[in-house]
Amino acid sequence: MSAPQASLDKLRERRFGLFVHWGLYALPARHEWVKKREQLTDERYQRYFDHFDPDLYDPSVWAKAASGAGMKYTVLTTKHHEGFCLWDSDLTDYKATNTPAGRDLLRPFVDAFRAEDLGVGFYHSLIDWHHPQYPVDTLHPRIDDAEFREREAGKRDIEVYRRYLHGQVEELLTRYGDVDVMWFDFSYPGREAYGLPGKGREDWNSEELVKLVRGLQPDILINNRLDYPGDFTTPEQFQPHAAPTIEGREVPWEACQTLNGSWGYDRDNLDWKSPDLLVRMLVDSVSKDGNLLLNVGPTGRGEFDERALATLEEIGRWTRRNGRSIYGAGRSEFTPPVDGRYTQRGDRLYLHLFAWPFRHVHLPGLAGRVKYAQLLHDASEVRFQEYHGVDTDSNVGVKGIPAGTLTLDLPVQRPNE
């Protein structure tokens, strides 16, 4: 069983999305794994629950920022590994309703993004460091000491947690209308060989969970982190060198990327990627038939950090003029020049130059294939020469290069784009 082709087509058309990691970890503001990394007890972590008061939360501002950046869909952490729920679940007290926020934070989010005509997806953590019956594993033996493992071992009944997991997914998929994507996170099977516990399809009952999801939302797309076949794959924090394949067949994919190396709000992290780099990552994804899901970690007061907002605005200046090379576009059969990427939509070929060459760029295989060329941002004509293997005076600049090469004449100065 898999999602309808129309849903995959829609994902492909959208190409660029907003990932939002928001939870209690916004308050310590030092990475969403802080509870695990610093081995914080439930008692110590409680202070973030008690102080969770996002008084500036206005998801219509988030949705407008996403739309302004050229994003076409969003995926929000309904629950991350810490176990805290943004919605008013009947199955736990560990939810936004019981914090100073005092309300369901998911509903206004969903409404705001739909109002901007953006697709809505739900990230949902399979891992849960708060549920009393979830057997917490050591993922990093250097961090999680043996004593901790011993204390936890055998004391917890994952069947109870599994019912909770399925029940919460049912809530999410019955209360908030049509959901475009269910983004589960994550499985780590097959570690038994190293003397470490793993978690996979048996633990979640992935088969049943997928049936449940598809039964409730027949058009939904499911990612690939259930240790069970999904609709698309999710390379994380790297750009694959080519479209990923499963058993030799290319699969739909979406790269997820941070703005600064952390998913949750991380105040002191200074690894910010430049807007220019992020645009190149978007182009790189599309040139390999994939999407980019770019993350923002909102603050504990419910806002996007100024640095995130500035980056999204800058990206938006690019996508507004160059979106025709992104939305609904994909890979081209042609091989781009060094430091360049091709994207293609129908019979339009888009050349993205990551480095500006001096006056000429040579495009092998394109001679005789191009009717007209222009810069995309201002529609100004780009003249070109074609070299068919016979030297004439008109191809002074292209002598000695392979026959079949088309050479673009570019301005010396890179246009301010």
Contact between 254 and ligand JFZ per CB under 6 A: no
Task: Compare residues 124 and 352 and give the one whose CB is closer to ligand JFZ.
Answer: 124
Residues 6 or more apart in contact with residue 82 via CB below 8 angstroms: 23, 24, 25, 32, 35, 45, 129, 130
Contact assessment for residue 266 and residue 31, using Cβ atoms and an 8 Å cutoff: yes
| Least distance to ligand JFZ, CB of residue 256, Å | 5
Q: Of all residues in this chain, which one has the CB nearest to ligand JFZ in the complex?
A: 186
| Least distance to ligand JFZ, CB of residue 152, Å | 19
Q: Which structure tokens are listed for 361?
A: 């760029």
Q: Within positions 29 to 68, which residues make up the interface with ligand JFZ, using CB under 6 A?
A: 32-33
| Least distance to ligand JFZ, CB of residue 237, Å | 8
CA distance 236 to 254: 9
Contact between 263 and ligand JFZ per CB under 6 A: yes
| Least distance to ligand JFZ, CB of residue 102, Å | 26
CA distance 287 to 350: 10
CA distance 53 to 46: 14
Residues 6 or more apart in contact with residue 215 via CB below 8 angstroms: none
Contact between 227 and ligand JFZ per CB under 6 A: no
Q: Mapping DSSP to helix (H, G, I), strand (E, B) and coil, where does residue 52 land? A: coil
Task: Compare residues 29 and 329 and give the one whose CB is closer to ligand JFZ.
Answer: 29
Task: Compare residues 19 and 176 and give the one whose CB is closer to ligand JFZ.
Answer: 19
| Least distance to ligand JFZ, CB of residue 130, Å | 15
Task: Compare residues 31 and 352 and give the one whose CB is closer to ligand JFZ.
Answer: 31
Task: Compare residues 77 and 99 and give the one whose CB is closer to ligand JFZ.
Answer: 77
Task: Compare residues 32 and 128 and give the one whose CB is closer to ligand JFZ.
Answer: 32
Q: Which of 66, 256, 283, 406 binds ligand JFZ (CB under 6 A)?
A: 256
Q: Within positions 165 to 194, which residues make up the interface with ligand JFZ, using CB under 6 A?
A: 185-186
| Least distance to ligand JFZ, CB of residue 262, Å | 9
Contact assessment for residue 378 and residue 341, using Cβ atoms and an 8 Å cutoff: no
- Cα end-to-end span (Å), the chain: 44
Number of residues that bind ligand JFZ (CB under 6 A): 7
Cis peptide preceding 109, ω within 30 of 0: no
| Least distance to ligand JFZ, CB of residue 185, Å | 5
CA distance 114 to 347: 32
Task: Compare residues 185 and 305 and give the one whose CB is closer to ligand JFZ.
Answer: 185
**CB neighbour burial string for 51-81, b if at least 16 within 10 angstroms, e if fewer:** ebebeebebeebbbbbbbbbbbbbbbbbbbb
Residues found near ligand JFZ in the complex (CB under 6 A): 32-33, 185-186, 236, 256, 263
